[in-house]
């Protein structure tokens, strides 16, 4: 389809945070034009008057466990070890591939309402995760969850080959769950596979003080130092959380050009701590933002995450200037795109993929328009998202989903699955 967005404010994020006025034209799955109103030799399927609201690139949710929607508000108010071992792992053992498909669709719907146009998902059965994204029109990058109990090196290699050679909305990056759920043999095997494929690797890392102390007890060094010694990140990648991380660990990330994905709401709810985001930025590390899963968050709301990134950083550093709103927007869009390998989705520019959101500026929380970009971070809300487009297709508009399935059907199926798993 050819779609023209006109009468818009535009935050292209193509180099800075300047807001212009004009139009954006989408042809098929790509952006054709961004700029002042001009004559075009095109026939448009739709022309959308933005009414001076804001067009910008979609947010990249760079760490998710989408199918954990069935655990929303089920495993609450517990420390991480009890949360995982007593609540999460026993119920996850009952999941089927079909369950994961339906549970992932629900998460995708929530992502769309928050202006999220792609996610970086770590969970079981990548086949059904990918199918959920394809069926709804969403963009998903998947990563492996190699551990001592599920997934194997051969499966990771097979998924890497399969999902990186098909539909452009689906891709796969090597990954493992965490140091504490993997044998040294697993990690050495994954390093060899990463070298063979010349591929990046992602993992949970230094999420809790207990995790770090356990790694030191087992191996004599911190998780990042262990991964560096094993040469796991020779071809890039990164880690999720990185709350309890040393200066030496950060130097490893900086020297290897790795990404860190921060998950502030999840870390708060599980009392894991506050990541040193300002130190990461000071060292030139690429930082992205993730919601984590709906069992530990429980809300897949990117506006809340953005505010927490800056708010917690200011409190941690005792400095109101720490991690300003522009830095947070950079993390939410371009930082996530870098971490997820989505270089074609990082800004609004001709030739880029059309992953676009429309933000309603005419609601009280966005007025007055002193600084629109900072309003998004400090006062923005899901209620301001009026349209979410992925790959040139409008999937959410004015409270309605266009994903090929009625919301009521999704809700009924998810509740049926949840009742079966939790009884």
Amino acid 84: pLDDT: 81
Residues 6+ apart with CB under 8 A from 72: 294, 295, 298
Chain segment 379-420, per-residue pLDDT in tens: 999 999 999 999 999 999 999 999 999 999 999 999 999 999
**CA 313 → CA 113, 304, 318, 380, distances in Å?**
26, 14, 8, 18
Per-residue confidence band for 83, with pLDDT thresholds at 50, 70 and 90: confident
Q: In this model, does residue 118 exceed pLDDT 80?
A: yes
Token pair of 296 as six digits: 């530990």
Q: In this model, does residue 191 exceed pLDDT 90?
A: yes
% of residues, the chain, pLDDT over 90? 95
Q: In this model, does residue 85 exceed pLDDT 90?
A: no
CA distance 178 to 181: 6
235 exposure class (CB count in 10 Å sphere: 0-12, 13-18, 19+) = middle
Amino acid 234: pLDDT: 97
Find, among 284, 135, 275, the residue nearest to 209 by Cα: 275
CA distance 379 to 360: 12
Find the mean pLDDT for residues 105-134: 98
> What are the residue boundaries of the structural domains of the chain, listed by start?
2-57+347-401, 59-343
Token pair of 260 as six digits: 């860190």
Amino acid 71: pLDDT: 94
> Which position has the higher pLDDT, 111 or 77?
111
Per-residue confidence band for 25, with pLDDT thresholds at 50, 70 and 90: very high
Amino acid 378: pLDDT: 98
Amino acid 81: pLDDT: 80
Sheet holding 170-176, edge to edge: 59-64, 116-122, 139-143, 170-176, 201-205, 237-241, 259-262, 286-289
Per-residue confidence band for 126, with pLDDT thresholds at 50, 70 and 90: very high
Q: In this model, does residue 79 exceed pLDDT 90?
A: no
Amino acid 185: pLDDT: 98
Span 59-343 CATH architecture: Alpha-Beta Barrel (3.20)
Token pair of 383 as six digits: 């209620």
The fold of 2-57+347-401 is Urease, subunit C; domain 1 (2.30.40)
Average pLDDT, the chain: 97
Q: In this model, does residue 423 exceed pLDDT 90?
A: no
Chain segment 229-282, per-residue pLDDT in tens: 999 999 999 999 999 999 999 999 999 999 999 999 999 999 999 999 999 999
Chain segment 338-354, per-residue pLDDT in tens: 999 999 999 999 999 99
Chain segment 52-66, per-residue pLDDT in tens: 999 999 999 999 999
Per-residue confidence band for 42, with pLDDT thresholds at 50, 70 and 90: very high
Chain segment 194-208, per-residue pLDDT in tens: 999 999 999 999 999
Q: In this model, does residue 80 exceed pLDDT 80?
A: no
Full 3-state SS string of the chain = CEEEEEEEEEECCCCCCCEEEEEEEEECCEEEEEECCCCCCCCCCEEEECCCCEEEECEEEEEECHHHHHHCCCCCCCCHHHHHHHHHHHHHCCCCHHHHHHHHHHHHHHHHHCCEEEEEEECCCHHHHHHHHHHHCCEEEEECCECCCCCCHHHHHHHHHHHCCCCCCEEEEEEECCHHHCCHHHHHHHHHHHHHHCCCEEEEECCCHHHHHHHHHHHCCCHHHHHHHCCCCCCCEEEEECCCCCHHHHHHHHHCCCEEEECHHHHHHCCCCCCCHHHHHHCCCEEEECCCCCCCCCCCCHHHHHHHHHHHHHHHHCCCCCCCHHHHHHHHHHHHHHHHCCHHHCCCCCCCECCEEEECCCCHHHCCCCCHHHHHHHCCCHHHEEEEEECCEEEEECCEECCCCCHHHHHHHHHHHHHHHHC
């Amino acid at each position: 389809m050819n779609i023209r967005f006109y009468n818009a404010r535009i935050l292209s994020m193509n180099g800075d945070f300047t807001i212009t006025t004009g139009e954006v034209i989408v042809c098929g799955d790509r952006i054709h034009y961004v700029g002042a109103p001009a004559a075009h030799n095109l026939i448009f399927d739709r022309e959308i008057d933005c009414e001076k609201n804001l067009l910008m690139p979609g947010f990249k949710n760079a760490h998710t466990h989408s199918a954990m929607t069935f655990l929303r508000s089920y495993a609450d108010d517990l420390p991480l070890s009890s949360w995982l071992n007593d609540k999460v792992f026993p119920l996850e053992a009952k999941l089927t591939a079909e369950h994961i498909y339906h549970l992932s669709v629900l998460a995708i719907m929530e992502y769309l309402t928050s202006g999220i146009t792609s996610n970086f998902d770590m969970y079981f059965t990548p086949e059904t995760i990918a199918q959920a994204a394809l069926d709804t029109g969403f963009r998903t990058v998947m990563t492996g969850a190699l551990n001592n109990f599920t997934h194997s090196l051969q499966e990771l290699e097979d998924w890497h080959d399969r999902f990186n050679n098909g539909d452009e909305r689906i891709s796969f990056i090597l990954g493992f769950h965490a140091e504490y759920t993997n044998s040294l043999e697993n990690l050495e095997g994954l390093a060899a596979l990463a070298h063979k494929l010349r591929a990046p690797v992602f993992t949970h890392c230094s999420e809790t003080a207990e995790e770090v102390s356990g790694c030191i007890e087992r191996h004599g060094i911190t998780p990042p130092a262990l991964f560096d010694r094993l040469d796991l990140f020779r071809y890039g990648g990164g880690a999720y959380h990185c709350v309890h991380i040393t200066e030496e660990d950060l130097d490893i990330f900086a020297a290897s050009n790795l990404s860190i994905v921060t998950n502030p709401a999840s870390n708060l709810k599980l009392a894991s701590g506050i990541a040193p985001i300002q130190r990461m930025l000071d060292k030139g590390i690429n930082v992205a933002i993730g919601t984590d899963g709906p069992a530990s968050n429980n809300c897949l709301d990117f506006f809340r995450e953005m505010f927490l990134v800056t708010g917690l950083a200011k409190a941690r550093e005792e400095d109101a200037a720490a991690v300003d709103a522009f830095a947070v927007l950079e993390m939410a869009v371009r930082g996530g795109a870098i971490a997820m390998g989505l270089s074609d989705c990082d800004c609004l520019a001709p030739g880029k993929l059309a992953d676009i959101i429309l933000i309603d500026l005419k609601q009280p929380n966005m007025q007055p328009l002193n600084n629109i970009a900072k309003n998004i971070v400090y006062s923005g809300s899901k209620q301001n998202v009026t349209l979410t487009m992925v790959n040139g297709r409008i999937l959410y508009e004015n409270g309605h989903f266009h994903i090929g399935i009625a919301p009521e059907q999704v809700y009924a199926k998810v509740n049926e699955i949840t009742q079966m798993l939790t009884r």
